[in-house]
Structure 1
Amino acid sequence: MTSTTAVHKQQAPGLARPTVASHARDYLRRVRGGDLGALPAVLGLVVLCVVFSIVRPAFFTAANFANLFNQGAAVAVIAMGLIFVLLLGEIDLSAGFTSGVCAAILANVATVLGFPWYVAILAAIVTGMVIGLTLGVLVAKIGIPSFVVTLAGFLAFQGVVLLLMKEGTNITIRDEALVGIQNSKIPPTLGWLMAAAAVAGYAAVALLRHRRRTARGLVTEPLAVVLIRIGGLALVLGLAVGILNQERSFNTLIISNKGMPVVVPIIGVLLVLWTFVLNRTAYGRHIYAVGGNKEAARRAGINVDRIRISAFVICSAMAAVGGIIAASRDRSVDPNTGGSNVLLYAVGAAVIGGTSLFGGKGRVLDAVLGGAVVAVIVNGMGLMGYSSGVKYVLTGLVLLLAAGVDALSRRRAGATGNR
């Protein structure tokens, strides 16, 4: 079974504490053994940003930087949900149109029926959970392969969207709270405070964990490595908030356009929530166990069917959140919402970020990293004036490369005994 959670080992008495150098050597050994983690996605993201910044200087402007968040938010959120299904070695081909169905429910409840925004959001998420429950029961209890079930859902939900949208109408989202999810900005001062709180929270958790493991004599990372990670997070968040707080409006007399988009902290909260669930709860350990070896998990007393059903529920609920974000971005919902390349980009984001298609290996962070790669490719190619055809070809090649790296790393890990 492959898992991203750390293995708790008792440190032998008199054994020297790990140093930064030994930690670096151990990391390189794991990389050579096939445990690449998010390294390919991070390197790819850096290379793409450097290339696009050189070829098109407009790529690395504050306005375009904010654009990347708006373009990749819905895909990243849907990919977060797909992580849970992929960890089990399953697939959900209906996630894109599930987001479309939930967006259509949102628009009808908020605009057509005139209910408050929170009722519309609740209705959309509950719809997603019901869809996920249905898919999960068909897969886990009836035994239909997830590929077939979700392919049927892909076709059926496309029809449901058409029915909800009266075979082609467009419903405008007028509620300011719903539109503000993707189009409102957080005041610069509040953005800095949120970034500081995020760094402080991460530092408190990391240092407390290091202290507890050290006190119990467990193998842990060197304190210097923990501090480097805290400093790295502070640097990344500081740069991001600093860029987003720059004025992006061409005419400040009419409107000011500076500050962090509201959708950014929403993604941050979802990332922290689901990372905690996977890494710090028994449920998360059961997800990895079932994905690593379903029969062994069953013999260990894990309710495998319940885990599989719940993964589909989470996946579809997150697809609903992605649909809400997409509806907010477009300020409307139409029959194409959730269609086109949404599913392909979401699955691509998860795999490009480092989640294995074979199950048992992946993190929620992979969805964010992969979503960033997809957004950078689409945005950068658009700035360079390439057609949609070229964008699809390049994104497909990157996805194929990521899947190839995953397959080769698993083979390498099996050969070196690091599986």
Structure 2
Amino acid sequence: MTKSAEQNAHTTPMLDRRDERVKHAEGVGGSIRAFLDRVRSGDLGALPVVVGLVIIWTVFQSLNPVFLAPNNLVNLLFDCSTVGVIALGIVCILIVGEIDLSVGSVSGFASALLGVMWVNQGWPVAAAILAALVFGALIGALYAVLFNRFGMPSFVATLAGLLSVLGLQLYLLGSTGSINLPYGSPLVEFGQLLVMPDPVSYALAALPGIVMFVLGYRTAARRRAAGLSAQPMSSLLLRSLVITVILEFIVYYLNLDRGIPWMFGLFVGLVVAMNYALTRTKWGRQMLAVGGNREAARRAGINVRFIYTTAFMLCSGLAAAGGILSAARLASASQQAGTGDVNLNAIAAAVIGGTSLFGGRGSAYSALLGIIVIQSIASGLTLLDLSSSLRYMITGAVLAIAVIVDSLARRSRASHGRA
């Protein structure tokens, strides 16, 4: 670029800022004002669930000082991992505007299949895990065929799957009803004991801030090269530093006890990978497009059937992964695995975390935030020695509030032209 071109680049307004009637964020203060404008227009993001989580933690901590103790938080992270992985699959299916009611049964069947193949049949544990994951994905492929080829609503197809897969689970376990997994095996230790070494946890905590800064810097450089405005480096650096400081403090606090469980690290890794796929790949953009308007996506040349197939397969495959982690956590595969409130907690976690029931909007981080909310309620009530009936009522109330907030935010976005 010549000297005169450089001078023109500094003096001429960017292509997307030549209209003086449009407000543009400048500096850190401008970024804060832009964020407040988005909130007022209904683009809430994760704000409601973060505020709700702060309120829940404040209430339980005031009632029982043990709630935010490092030991209790480490146990909470162990418990979040199993249902959280299932909720991550629910996020995928909700984004395309469908539902899967069989994830609990699929997770229970996957744990039963793992126990039968590994303990009873003598398969290597890796082969048994792979078989359970493949079978889970095949169940999702069957749902996709019923949906794409025969037009069967996902509600009906997965409800039938719930009953059928539960029957398969009971048949596999037979009269014994449960299979104990070998204590001391790497899988069981992974689900119950293994935590990250301190240096590893601190290094991983610094990684999100670094990645955010690098990706933001590259995006800003490309926008400036195209003659467009870009996020100020001061704002980007501040956000990265704040996130890094918060995560490092969390790791330090948890390391006062046992530290970060590897199982929770696996869950967070899956969340990060899914977030990247949804936000920075062609497939992810197509998922959101199909969920927003199926017919418009089809006319735009998107293979809608393929998108639905991948969503159903991911949902069932992640449900199977959650069942395997649950078996590792409990060191057993039983007829009760995947039953009870597993189904509802997984769906509730995705919705409470911010994924819209109307399709087209959602984030992988919804599963992470939502399951932390649900497990925080369960942990707090357990410490207070209160009835589990309260847990169901409070979780139901939180779920209802989340849906109401999503519906109101959707109307606000429509009225402000952001829908």
What TM-score do the two structures reach when normalised by structure 2?
Answer: 0.91
Mapped contact 1:94–1:150 kept (Cα < 8 A):
yes
Q: Does 1:196 align with 2:206?
A: yes
Quote the residue 1:147 is aligned against.
155
Partners in 1 of 2:396 and 2:175 — Cα distance? 31
Residue 361 (structure 1) shift: 0.5
Alignment map for 1:22-101 (pairs within 5 Å)? 22-101=30-109
Is residue 128–residue 317 contact of structure 1 (8 Å, CA) maintained in 2? Answer: yes
- Structure 1 counterpart of 2:178, one-letter code: N
Match in the other structure for 1:379: 379
Query: 1:102 pairs with 110, 113, 126, which one?
Result: 110
> How many Å apart are 1:23 and its aligned residue?
2.1
1:245 is aligned to 255
Partners of 1:418 and 1:204 lie apart in 2 by 28
Q: Which runs of 5+ in 1 are unaligned?
A: 1-8, 248-257
C-alpha distance after superposition, 1:26-66 (max 9, x if no partner): 22222111111111001001111111111110001110010
Task: Give the stretch that moved more between structures: 276-285 or 22-31.
Answer: 22-31
Aligned match of 2:16: 11
Q: Is 1:164 aligned to residue 172 of structure 2?
A: yes
Give the drift of 1:167: 4.3
> 1:227 maps to which residue?
237
Q: % of aligned pairs identical? A: 40
Shift of 1:378: 0.7
Instruction: Give the counterpart letter for 1:270 in structure 2.
Output: L
The reply on whether 1:209 has 2:219 as its aligned counterpart is yes
Q: Structure 2: how far apart are the matches of 1:237 and 1:164? A: 43
- Matched residue SS, 1:398: helix
Is the 2:74–2:259 contact (alpha carbons within 8 Å) kept by the matching residues of 1?
no
Structure 2 equivalent of residue 393 of structure 1: 393
Residue pair 1:349, 1:366 contacting (<8 A) in 2 also:
yes
- Using the alignment, how far apart are the partners of 2:38 and 2:412 within structure 1? 10
What is the DSSP-based 3-state SS (H/G/I as helix, E as strand, rest coil) of the residue aligned with 1:59? Answer: coil
1:128 to 136, 139, 153: 136
Count of residue pairs brought into register by the alignment: 401
2:186 counterpart residue number? 177
| Structure 2 residue 334 is the aligned partner of structure 1 residue 324 | no
Change in Cα spacing, 1:198 to 1:417, as seen in structure 2 (3 Å) is closer
Question: Displacement, 1:274?
Answer: 0.7
Summarize deviations over 1:125-179 as a string: whole Å, max 9, x none: 1011101101111112210000111111111111111111114521111162211
Q: Following TM superposition, by how much is the alpha carbon of 1:405 offset from its aligned partner in structure 2, in angstroms?
A: 0.7
**Counterparts of 1:235 and 1:323, CA distance in 2:** 34
AA matched with 1:154: L
Report which of the two structures shows the higher radius of gyration computed on alpha carbons: 2
Give the aligned partner of residue 369 of structure 2: 369
2:93·2:311 contact (CA, 8 Å) conserved in 1?
A: yes
Shift of 1:413: 1.6
Mark the runs of 5 or more structure 2 residues left unpaired by the alignment.
Answer: 1-13
Aligned Cα RMSD in Å? Answer: 1.8
The answer as to whether partners of 1:117 and 1:177 remain within 8 angstroms in 2 is no
> TM-score, with normalisation over the residues of structure 1?
0.91
Question: Which whole-Å CA distance do the structure 2 matches of 1:332 and 1:43 have between them?
Answer: 37
Amino acid of the residue matched to residue 136 of structure 2?
Answer: G
